[in-house]
Amino acid sequence: MSLAGMKCLVTGAGGLLGQRIVSQLLDEGENLAEVRVLDRTFSSETLQHFEDLKGSTLLTVIKGDIRDTSCLQKAVQGISLVIHTACVIDVLGLVEKQVLWDINVGGTQRLLETCLLHDVKYFIYTSSLEVVGPNHRGDPVSNGDEDSVYQVTPGFPYAETKREAEKCVLELDGLPLKDGSSFVTCALRSMYIFGEGSPFLRKHVNEAILNNKVFFRYSRKEALVNPVYVGNVAWAHIQLAKAVRDPEKVKQIKGRFYYISDDSPHISYSDLNHELGKELGFGVERKLAMPLTMLYWYALLLEIMSFLLQPFVRYVPLINRHLLTLMNTPFTFSYKKAQKDFGYTPRYSWEESKQRTRRWIAEVASLKTTYLKSKNI
């Protein structure tokens, strides 16, 4: 099924994934009537890239906040498909809980209400693996799927907001629209996303440069996860967008969530950094700085300090128990149901994903090295 003639809105279009989704929409030769992009900020490079790709497709840029109802009304007017990637990702607790809730949940609810008001038919939500876990106990999952039963434990604000937002999206599936059709919603739970432009990967590379080109080890080698290349996550959104227009496929996929991974190897987070950077001369620390149990106690101590200092100063530790659990729990999921239900297959192989990411890492490392030399560091 083609997207030709459709008008599509992508929220969070200035972010890592949103940019790639827009690029694929414009580059697919689908002849969309319009691609509308919404975010609080766009870099000049991103906007120029979009312009270079758009061809005959109308590209409309809207700078605005997902919490602004008037902005959302302007953004969805006349739109038939919304791909909602906008959110605040916070694994350290740097963002106030209320702000996370207002953007990730409140913003999603406002967008849904506005879509229903303006008869938007299709809504695809970018969810997260953290919706399901890992839980506080660090219970492992190996090749899980959408039917896997897992004991979710609440407590970490970012995971809670993504879980609640996904619930809001899927619960509204099937609501009647003014034209007699029904609202179609789906959610994609992505694994950890790597690739060009990743802020997390950029941070790790810059840290490694300062550590004699050796990546710090944050996860045990046996804590296997299945990272996914950003281009493949974007491609899953495009494939799902096509499928929701298919009268037969939509019956199977509406109101459902899907795990999105690719054929990247099962590997720990730290060893992924090494795999992506080793041909550029990067190494990785052989083991954790201290035994994992001691790291948990250390993180707990920092969290207690943060709590005690709250009346006087806001102190956010660079490590917490949730992050340690996240990085050190074996947690892998299959994309086979997405393949079966709406035809998702990775667009980029592991080798191509690695090569593309490696070229970008080389640029980041070069810029960081040049900067340090200019400062005589």
Residue 185 · residue 255 · CB < 8 Å: yes
Neighbours of 179 (CB within 10 A): 8
Q: In 3-state terms, what secondary structure has residue 222?
A: coil
Among the listed residues 140, 125, 212, the one whose alpha carbon sits nearest the alpha carbon of residue 172: 125
Neighbours of 1 (CB within 10 A): 14
Catalytic residue among 122, 125, 158, 259: 158
> Is there a catalytic annotation at residue 158?
yes
Residue 254 · residue 240 · CB < 8 Å: no
CA distance 4 to 375: 52
CA distance 273 to 217: 9
Q: Is 353 left (phi over 0), alpha (psi -120 to 50) or beta?
A: alpha
Catalogue the active-site residues: 158
